Structure 1
């Protein structure tokens, strides 16, 4: 009984804000403040028209897609290569290599922002979507290595031994054995990376000055002012920005769950 009550309260804490946000996208600012929890009495699509046209959210969406389409595949490739090395190297070299990348998870992003800013300024990569993609790769690579190495370590050594007997070298073993078998874990890692890169605000705020190169989280700040916040427009922008993530998770949910549980038990 207590468990159900706790779960019910937890569900309300999640569902009620979602209802307010979804309903608020069809309200004007006075209607939202008059009855934030009620349904839209005079529903309007003006907020969506404003966000998609006047605020150029379509162009901003393209910037986010560009960053994600570069960052995620490169991070997955590098992360899977390092994870394969961690799984195949002898005991101590494997631990040292894994420990180096694990340190990347322990260092707060705020602690290295200034050196990163200076370095990218010198390289001419600041205020660039390519530079922002490189930053994302560097920052999230330890996460990819941590997840993928945990799975590849559980793969039976007989798979690699059979590949060696057939004459496959390390590169062929990686592509023909490790990657296909690790697909569930790679898919789960890809979802994690897409969400992290899509929702990142810290690095776009630090590296991007050109309004035409803003990403979605950065563009949503335009709806917040010092004295007034257009909450219906802000809610609409949040819904539009979240929709690709919701659709991606809906289609890849099976792979996400499989990837999360794949390395839970050592085979």
Structure 2
């Protein structure tokens, strides 16, 4: 019993320490953003006269409305297509048991090992040859391809555990494979699909490297990608830079707070055996 209490208190202290390490940087950003523009605050010192207008100023000078629109367009172009293709491929590999499925699945698993940094140079030349540089398509199309390995891996983990009897019963009722997929398996897979959609939304919204390398116009990048241009322009104005950073982080934090339970389910879903 004593050992159990020690383990419980150790776990609680560890969680408190982890929470503090996670929250303190955001608190520091927030406190710094409230200092007078052009000042150099030290530590977590609360300002005598909080400058709440720094957030409005950062929103204005960073053209945040255009960045929100650009990020929304990129997410709208990536997530639905990647979800559809990933779900269909995961269904084919995990449930239909198509010929060569193991080799095909290993190919997708291999894609999980490819870092963005390792393919960004050839990707740049390919996008340039297609005439898509400095357009949102330069971010949308590569992200769809880069998300495929994880999306297929994720959805296969769900479909491989679906009993074959479900499809056999539907087939006896005259349902085609396409009808089985849309009318039976997709509704059953909605928890996995919605969790995957949240993850891909966060990854698309926070995409930085591709946005910086493939798009020169900050107004056509993601919000995270535009942070580089904002930092280059206002890097010496620390409070304004912190205010802009918090505004860029706000949509991601809002999505996490609203869908936190689904986000936790998304992390646990990856542990499904298959």
Query: What is the TM-score of this pair, normalised by structure 2?
Result: 0.88
Aligned residues: CA RMSD: 2.3
Task: State the match for 1:11 in structure 2.
Answer: 19
Of residues 212, 220, 226, the one that matches 1:213 is: 220
Check whether the contact 1:224–1:230 (CA below 8 A) recurs between aligned residues.
Answer: no
8 Å contact kept, 1:27–1:232: yes
| Residue matched to 2:34 | 26
Contact residue 211 and residue 222 of structure 2 kept, 8 A: yes
Structure 1, unaligned runs of 5 or more: none
| C-alpha displacement of 1:14 | 1.1
Number of residue pairs the alignment of both structures matches: 266
Tell me, yes or no, if the aligned pair for 2:32 and 2:242 is still in contact at 8 Å: yes
CA deviation profile, 1:59-110 (whole Å, cap 9, x unmatched): 1111111101110111001100100001123376221221111111112222
Q: Give the equivalent residue in structure 1 for 2:211.
A: 204
The offset of 1:157, in angstroms, is 1.2
Distance 1:181 1:249, change over 3 A: same
Q: Secondary structure at the match of 2:140?
A: helix
After superposition, the Cα gap between the structure-2 partners of 1:92 and 1:263, relative to the gap in structure 1 and judged at 3 Å, is farther
1:109 is aligned to 116
- Shift in Å at residue 266 of structure 1? 6.2
Shift of 1:150: 0.8
1:251 is aligned, of 258, 263, 272, to: 258
Q: 1:148 aligns with which of 139, 144, 155?
A: 155
User: Does structure 2 conserve the Cα–Cα contact (< 8 Å) formed by 1:126 and 1:132?
Assistant: no
Q: For 1:150-229, what aligned pairs fall within 5 Å after superposition?
A: 150-225=157-232, 228-229=235-236
Change in CA separation of 1:48 and 1:205 when aligned onto 2, cut-off 3 Å: same
CA apart distance, 1:32 = 5.2
Do the aligned partners of residues 37 and 227 (structure 1) sit closer, same or farther apart at CA in structure 2, a change above 3 Å counting?
A: same
Residue among 88, 91, 107 paired with 1:84: 91
**What residue in structure 2 maps to residue 139 of structure 1?**
146
Q: TM-score under structure 1 normalisation?
A: 0.90
> In 2 relative to 1, CA 28–3 (structure 1 residues): closer, same or farther, beyond 3 Å?
same
**Native 8 Å contact 1:184 1:256 kept in 2:** no
Residue by residue, what CA displacement relative to the aligned partner does 1:222-260 show, whole Å, maximum 9, x if unpaired?
343499533222222222122222222222233333444
